[in-house]
Amino acid sequence: MVSSRDVAKHAGVSQSTVSRVLNDPSKVNDQIVKKVQEAIKALNYRPNSVARSLVSNRTRTIALISGPLHNPFFVETTTSIVNYAESKGYRTMVFFENTGENKPIYEEVLSERVDGILLSSIFRDDPIFDDLQNLDIPVIMYNRRHNKGGNFVEIDNMQSGRLAASHLLGLGHQHICVVGGPDHTSTFYGRKQGFLEEYKTLTGTEVPPSFIKDTNTTEGAVHESIVEVMSCTPPPSAIFAATDAIAIYVMDKLQQMGFHVPEDVSVCGMDNVTLAKHQSFQLTSIGHKGPKNLGLISAEYLIEMMENPSEQQVQITLEPVLYDRKTTKS
């Protein structure tokens, strides 16, 4: 196996010079860098990443803890994060929360040597928060956030819920159901609370408990909630789904049951994922302005914090906007 000593001999430089070229070439003369790189190529040398990280105290690795893959929001954000990190010379270790139980994932991540952590799997009162805050590496939450603050990139979830209620009530709907996920996440809690508060403000009444459905966000659970709510008298004429993934499950079940969207039931989603724009249904959804998703924005801030350490916090709450398409009508 070719070693850095072999590279040094071939290039006619010291072994320490080879190490500097590998870890911080900006501090080495360009001609020397070229000689070392040519030697590396000629000998087909593969640097030992573990050894290099011990020398530089950096692994050029990011840990990403994402929400479940059945939600296209997390597919899109994960893809953006991995691609951006790669463009900056970092690799990404990806972990997915699929069961609502994230403690084992945290334990695995904290046992790894990484330069930074991105996570969207944290709960509002998650006890892991203090452990994350005590790490000597930057940590940024995206989409979801903890009640104690920390670094985060999110959309204004309360305002998003208010927008959904205002939109559906403005179309003349009176019987509206909200289908979301567990309250221990900031996204579902905020979107539901914002919706319920705006509904009460605008109507003077409260959404009936039978029209409030908290699910585990899986297809089966969402379908079950739709069967239940559509059996009510009267059934809802509009549904606010707290994610676009839930909205797609809702529309699928409604059509299986013989209902038409939006002629019989209007459906509004949340996240404005790429799939929401699909020509086959053109989902009305709530998202933020701009081409960058929350994952990409958080990745840009994380890498900036890793490369230029400072005490500055990242606390970004983006204003939501309604994308009025074809799944809602009066």
> What pLDDT is attached to residue 167?
98
Is 90 exceeded by the pLDDT of residue 269? yes
User: Per the structure block, which two tokens stand in for 283?
Assistant: 């989902």
> What pLDDT is attached to residue 51?
47
Confidence band of 48 (pLDDT split at 50, 70, 90)? low
- Name which of 262, 283, 326 is nearest 72 in CA terms: 283
Please enumerate in sequence order all residues whose Cβ is within 8 A of that of 1, keeping only pairs 6 or more positions apart, or say none. Answer: none
- Name which of 106, 101, 103, 153 is nearest 304 in CA terms: 153
Most distant pair of Cα atoms in the chain: their distance: 85
> What pLDDT is attached to residue 54?
41
Is 60 exceeded by the pLDDT of residue 56? no
pTM of the model: 0.81
User: Per the structure block, which two tokens stand in for 59?
Assistant: 């692994």
User: Per the structure block, which two tokens stand in for 55?
Assistant: 């020398």
> What pLDDT is attached to residue 194?
98
Q: Nearest 5 degrees, angle CA 329-CA 293-CA 67? A: 90
Q: 80 by DSSP, 3-state: which?
A: helix
Give me the domains of the chain, ranges plus CATH numbers: 4-56 (1.10.260.40), 61-155+291-320 (3.40.50.2300), 157-289 (3.40.50.2300)
> What pLDDT is attached to residue 21?
85
Higher model confidence: residue 230 or residue 17?
A: 230
What are the φ/ψ torsions at residue 213 (nearest 5 degrees)?
Answer: -120, 110
Query: Minimum mean pLDDT among 52-61, 176-185, 289-298, 305-314: which range?
Result: 52-61
